[in-house]
Chains A and B, each alone.
Chain A
Amino acid sequence: MAGNVGLAANLNPRAETASIMESLMVEIDHLSLYYGEKLALKDVSMSIPKHRVTAYIGPSGCGKSTLLRCINRMNDLVDGVRTLGNIRIGGTDIYDRSVDVTELRKRVGMVFQKSNPFPKSIFENVAYGPRILGLQSRSDLEGIVERSLRGAALWDEVSDRLHESALGLSGGQQQRLCIARAIAVEPDVLLMDEPCSALDPIATARIEELMLELKNSYTIVIVTHNMQQAARVSDYTGFMLLGELVEFGVTRELFTNPRDKRTEDYITGRFG
């Protein structure tokens, strides 16, 4: 297939930007995924560099969320899912039988499309992850909560009402709380599944700002519908279509000089 030749050429970000030396965080290697009989991801291979924002774009149903959820194995929860190939994070194959999925998720945090705070206080929401990991000391927890909320640029807004219900926060605040909750356990990778799709432009701008700050400490992988968003925040972008990774490269190049016709059609708005 002609497309596969192009794909092979685009596999490695290092091949694209030979001048920049990136260290790799996540390596996806010939990953295919089936929902029952249906093939949802077709032989996807790519590398995600450390401390960068990597975005997946593509039309609805192209498999970008599925790919994202493979990285912390959230797809395991769905009945009838089967994967081929493997994903390595820091050199370990996360689909290896010896891998404890809870250990994996400690290293790979996730923020969801719809903000989903627990029906608990703001404090308890952020402290949830550390508590699960067995941390009990009140002062330690308080430190982590403050640090995480500051990290998510939420501290100033909620510091005086930490023990009120998280559900009283606005949509944007809730989403930043979810980010704080995810970084409270200090993961290596932060997955974000369309984190701004339910937010207004101002809240979206704040989260985008936040992502640019967070990438100094975390490797961020984001799925988005919004091509402008991908262009604004990401360093690398992958375009997906019908379960295939059509093109993957440095964001600026992908948007200004796409090498695949389908990418060009999509980003110029001819379909999708």
Chain B
Amino acid sequence: MSTRLAKTWRGGEPFIWLTGGALALALLLVAGLIGLILYNGLGFFWPKSVVRLTLTDGKAMTGQVVEREPVPGKVGEYRIKLKVANRDLYGADFQWLDESQIARRSYPPEIAVVERTEWGLLVGELAEVREGDTVVAKGPEAAWAEVRKRMPEAARLRSEIRGIETGEIGAINYEQEALRLRAKRLERKGVTAGPETDAIARELAALHARYKTQEARLTDLRKQQGASVVVTADGGKEKVLPLPQVLDVYFPNAMGGPAKAWHYATRLWEFVSAEPRESNTEGGVFPAIFGTVMMVVIMSILVTPLGVLAAFYLREYAKQGPFVSAVRIAVNNLAGVPSIVFGVFGVGFFIYFVGGSIDRLFYADALPTPTYGTGGILWASLTLALLTVPVVIVATEEGLAAIPRGMREASLALSATKLETTLRVVLPAVMPSILTGLILAMARAAGEVAPLMITGVVKLAPSLPIDGFWPFLHLDRKFMHLGFHIYDVGFQSPNVDAARPMVFATTLLLLAIVVLLNLFAIGTRNRLRRKYATSAI
């Protein structure tokens, strides 16, 4: 028997099953992970039907069913989690309800879901529209018609107000800050009076006047939005919602497939293109996408030359020996250092030392407010570049080692110097390997969160690192990042339950961005490979 067993084992069949099984298990885990994220992330935007439950005690409850699970301790009984929304009216977004309490379920088509600028969703029936105190429209249908008529105007006013706030007033703030710095510089020089200070004072006054006119414009615009819509919710509760706060109104029970699909698409677009609202639990994640991509791009720009040059020295110029081997081992091991350690180094060296020195030398007028002496996208990118430089070095070195000796000799025999050989023959041939290193570096950098949390990522950045004010690219600014956004929304937000679907959606987006960045780099590499196709690399 044992000989037969031994024979079977030696035949190799069981080992094939073992290896195949291991691979299948790994694939299953990955597929499960991606499936879960896809299901939850993409499902988030689908307009769910709103159910009106009539309870056995006669009360009514309206909301979307989010979960169904067995009641603990009671066999065969289930309870549901209902998203009732209307946080401002009920105090909580979610209610648990035993199914035994439910007498009847209905899906009235007139129930509206209102997205608004604050307090999350509002679920109920549109009752009337008021202009000031006078009722303009009464009854669900008339009210909806009136709301629909007025919504484009409200949206226009909203964007105009936003435009003034970020555009004109933003510019005034920017100029005011510049003047303040000029005044401070004069003060340090000991000039407290004279034509220059007078000029500054005059300009400040002019700015103040400009601010006043803009403020008046804002007040004027806000006055134009006198209309409000009254929504009735369960238990006869009423909410008077000023129309400018209304972002979107839809009737999920009355929507057909195409309408739902259209709504889904617009919500998805809003998610990737809009700014977040309500401490990131609503709205979009555009600034986080922008921050993530920009950080990865800056990191790539920093890490590639550094890693490639280092690899060239190690492989082409350094005299191979125990010291170089030790350096190589150290570089390889650097890739295994926990990322938070790099974060700590980034804070200590880049931010406090380098950034602090830059501030003292070039931004002394702004002190004690730090410019570069605090977390920012440059320092975060540099920290990540340091974290990923071993990957680039190793990949480049492997590429260099794979270049046939004959290729270099051919170049040298054609009277090229070593430098010419390196630049004209070796560098193009090693380019695909460099890109492989960069792909790995980008994949790692895009997914890294821990070192960023202490080197420049914030929950909510007031402005993007690129804008219309000189010098347009603001490397000192703090930025938002999808990875941190997931952590923040999922675990730090005041309303974790309501934000959870957003966590999945954001995760999906982060994955998509990593995949996209990689595909871009892989495409470039393949193009280069075709161009410099060699058998050895």
A-side residues, CB < 8 A to B, are: 72, 74, 77, 102-106, 109-110, 112, 114, 116-120, 128-129, 132-133, 165, 167, 178, 181-182, 185
Contact = CB atoms under 8 A, between A and B. Distances in A.
B324 interface: no
Contacts of A109: 413-414
A124 to B, nearest CB: 9
B533 A167 contact: yes
B424 A128 contact: yes
A77 B415 contact: no
Given A120-B428, A120-B532, A128-B424, A181 B407 contact: no
14 contacts: A74-B412, A105-B412, A105-B414, A116-B404, A116-B407, A118-B407, A118-B411, A118-B425, A119-B429, A119-B533, A120-B428, A132-B416, A182-B413, A185-B414
B417 interface: yes
A110 B411 contact: no
B168 interface: no
A167 B414 CA distance: 19
B377 to A, nearest CB: 37
B203 interface: no
B410 A112 contact: yes
Interface in B389-431: 404, 406-407, 409-417, 420, 424-425, 428-429
Most chain-B CB neighbours within 10 Å: which of A74, A103, A129? A129
Contacts of B415: 102-106, 129, 132-133, 185
Interface of B: 404, 406-407, 409-417, 420, 424-425, 428-429, 531-535
A74 B409 contact: yes
A107 to B, nearest CB: 9
Given A116-B407, A118-B425, A128-B424, A167 B534 contact: yes
Given A104-B415, A118-B407, 19 more contacts: A74-B409, A77-B409, A102-B415, A103-B415, A105-B413, A105-B415, A106-B415, A110-B409, A110-B413, A116-B406, A118-B410, A118-B425, A118-B429, A119-B429, A119-B532, A128-B411, A128-B414, A132-B420, A167-B533
Contacts of A181: 410, 414
Contacts of A178: 410
A132 B534 CA distance: 22
B261 to A, nearest CB: 48
A102 B533 contact: no
A102 B404 contact: no
Nearest to A128: B414
A72 B414 CA distance: 10
A200 to B, nearest CB: 18
A79 to B, nearest CB: 8
A269 to B, nearest CB: 31
A132 B415 CA distance: 7
Contacts of B425: 118
Contact of B533 (A74, A106, A128, A165): A165
Nearest to A76: B412
A109 B416 CA distance: 12
Nearest to A106: B415
Nearest to B416: A132
B532 A72 contact: no
Contact of B413 (A74, A119, A120, A133): A74
Nearest to B413: A110
Contacts of B416: 102, 128, 132
Contact of A77 (B406, B412, B417, B429): B412
A130 B518 CA distance: 39
Most chain-B CB neighbours within 10 Å: which of A109, A117, A132, A133? A132
A208 B336 CA distance: 56
Most chain-B CB neighbours within 10 Å: which of A104, A116, A178? A116
Nearest to A100: B415
Nearest to A112: B406
Nearest to A178: B410
B414 A182 contact: yes
Contacts of A103: 415
Nearest to B414: A129
Contacts of B533: 119, 165, 167
B414 A132 contact: yes
Contacts of B412: 74, 77, 105
A165 B429 CA distance: 13
Contacts of A119: 407, 428-429, 532-534
Contacts of B409: 74, 77, 110, 112, 116
A112 to B, nearest CB: 6
Contacts of B417: 102
Nearest to A130: B414
B405 to A, nearest CB: 9
A77 B413 CA distance: 11
A178 B413 CA distance: 11
Most chain-A CB neighbours within 10 Å: which of B406, B413, B428? B413
B431 to A, nearest CB: 10
Nearest to A129: B414
A110 B428 CA distance: 23
Nearest to A181: B414
A97 to B, nearest CB: 17
Nearest to A104: B415
A116 B413 CA distance: 12
A108 to B, nearest CB: 8
A165 B535 CA distance: 12
A271 to B, nearest CB: 30
Contacts of B407: 116, 118-119
B97 to A, nearest CB: 69
A102 B412 CA distance: 8
Contacts of A165: 531, 533
A114 B406 contact: yes
Nearest to A103: B415
Most chain-A CB neighbours within 10 Å: which of B415, B416, B425, B534? B415
A236 B411 CA distance: 29
Contacts of A128: 411, 414, 416, 424
B448 to A, nearest CB: 34
A132 B417 CA distance: 9
Contacts of A102: 415-417
B244 to A, nearest CB: 63
B417 to A, nearest CB: 6
Contact of A116 (B410, B420, B424, B428): B410
B526 to A, nearest CB: 14
Contacts of A106: 415
Contacts of B534: 119, 167
A61 B420 CA distance: 32
B434 to A, nearest CB: 14
A155 to B, nearest CB: 20
A164 to B, nearest CB: 11
A114 B408 CA distance: 13
A105 B420 CA distance: 14
Nearest to A102: B415
A110 B533 CA distance: 24
In the complex, the 5 A-B pairs of residues with the closest C-beta atoms, listed nearest first? A116-B406, A110-B413, A105-B415, A119-B532, A129-B414
